Amino acid sequence: MPISAFTTGFAVCATLIVAIGAQNAFVLRQGLRREHVLLIVAFCAVADLLLISAGVAGVSRVLGEAPRLTFFLTAAGTLFLGWYGARALARGRRASSMDVAADGARRISVRNAVAQVAAFTFLNPHVYLDTVLLMGSIGARQPTDARLWFVGGAAAASGAWFSTLGFGARLLRPVFRTARAWQVLDSIIGVTMLVLAGTLLVTLF
């Protein structure tokens, strides 16, 4: 039973987390730039662990009954994604601003990196839908003595994914030695953020 709960948690989390989204795009970009990668990967993995644990513990039921909180998170997430998407598109239009060599580019501070990854994590309502509500409800259905194994499996999947995305990004660095490649990446990130913002905006009305 514990092994079954572990594999269930791992499989469900892996299925949900491997998708193009704001958080993944940010981790990928910072991995390519080699900026605070360990910190960002650890933050994302620990955040998933805490959110999934909270969901399994019963917070999913509380959030499901708090429409005002859901509205606030959705509105805040829409504004942040729209702002970041616009900035990414602006970067994509300026070849001179592209960090062709990350070592010579302007680096963001640790505080800025944490602030951005925290915003991508906690201002995205889909994070709560996936981790707290969906995974929380699935984990809560596991036998009491198997719930920790479910959370452990989910945390393992999360840690493996973000580590692969963040540290594996360096394998793509040869592709991103030109300004044009960074323009394309930032343009894709910008469009992705704006589409996500538009999707969230629709849910507000």
What lies within 8 Å, CB to CB, of 65 at 6+ separation is none
Q: Which of 116-130, 131-145, 165-179 bottoms out in mean pLDDT, i.e. has the lowest?
A: 131-145
Query: Could you tell me the sign of the dihedral formed by the alpha carbons of 36, 39, 42, 48, in that order?
Result: negative
Per residue in 21-42, pLDDT tens?
778 888 988 998 889 999 999 9
- CA distances to 87, 98, 184, 199 from 187, rounded to whole Å, are 10, 12, 5, 18
Q: What's the pTM value of the predicted model, to 2 decimals?
A: 0.72
How far is it, in rounded angstroms, from Cα 164 to Cα 153? 17
Instruction: Single out the residue of 55, 71, 199, 77 nearest to residue 129, CA to CA.
Output: 55
DSSP string, 1-43: -HHHHHHHHHHHHHHHHSS--HHHHHHHHHHHHTSSHHHHHHH
Instruction: Give the start-to-end residue ranges of the domains of the chain.
Output: 2-203
pLDDT value at 16 more than 60? yes
Higher pLDDT, 141 or 119: 119
Instruction: Single out the residue of 14, 50, 52, 69 nearest to residue 133, CA to CA.
Output: 52
Q: Which of 23-37, 68-82, 187-201 bottoms out in mean pLDDT, i.e. has the lowest?
A: 68-82
